Amino acid sequence: MQQTGPGRAIFQGSSTVSASFTSALQAAQAAAGTQHYPASTLYVVATPIGNLADITLRALHVLELADAVACEDTRHTHSMLRAYGVGKSGGQLIALHQHNEAEAAEQVIHRLQQGQRIAYVSDAGTPGVSDPGARLAAAVARA
């Protein structure tokens, strides 16, 4: 069954998606869309550790909604976003890693001050444990 919107690529070509799953998926997508996502906000988004189907619909919604995505490796993140059907151009991906985190954090803060929504993802899992995410969140909180 073919789905529409973020996350559609996960389910394309699957003939085993049940009607109840489709109903639940549509309800979850609708619920994610009704929540308030303020501008000028850094969204820390957890990504799957190994199985692309483990992403939440809310995470997909935030990734689609974000004006830009800060990430450790833009190549990895671009591939992941493409797999989910989330369209972000190269200019919408901000490389933020241990070698440039101060400069990249300033770029993120500048964009937030302009009213943009920025999502931050690590290569796998929840940002902020063993990556520059904790320092980015602290820099944004200080700004």
* Per-residue pLDDT, 131: 61
* Per-residue pLDDT, 29: 78
CATH number of 8-142: 3.40.1010.10
CA distances to 2, 25, 45, 129, 135 from 9, in Å? 8, 13, 19, 29, 33
Dihedral over Cα of 143, 97, 131, 62: its sign? positive
Longest Cα–Cα distance in the chain: 49
- Report the run of H or E that residue 41 belongs to, with start and end: strand 41-44
Q: Per-residue confidence at 6, pLDDT binned at 50, 70, 90?
A: low
Residue 69 main-chain phi, psi, to 5 deg? -125, 120
State pLDDT tens for residues 10-69.
554 455 557 777 787 788 778 877 889 999 999 999 999 888 888 888 899 999 999 999
* Per-residue pLDDT, 28: 78
What is the rounded distance in angstroms from the CA atom of residue 143 to the CA atom of residue 141?
6
Please tell me which residue, 100 or 136, carries the higher pLDDT value.
Answer: 100
Domain ranges of the chain: 8-142
Centre a 10 Å sphere on the Cβ of residue 118 and count the other Cβ atoms it contains. 24
* Per-residue pLDDT, 1: 36
State pLDDT tens for residues 68-108.
999 999 999 999 999 999 989 888 999 998 899 899 999 99
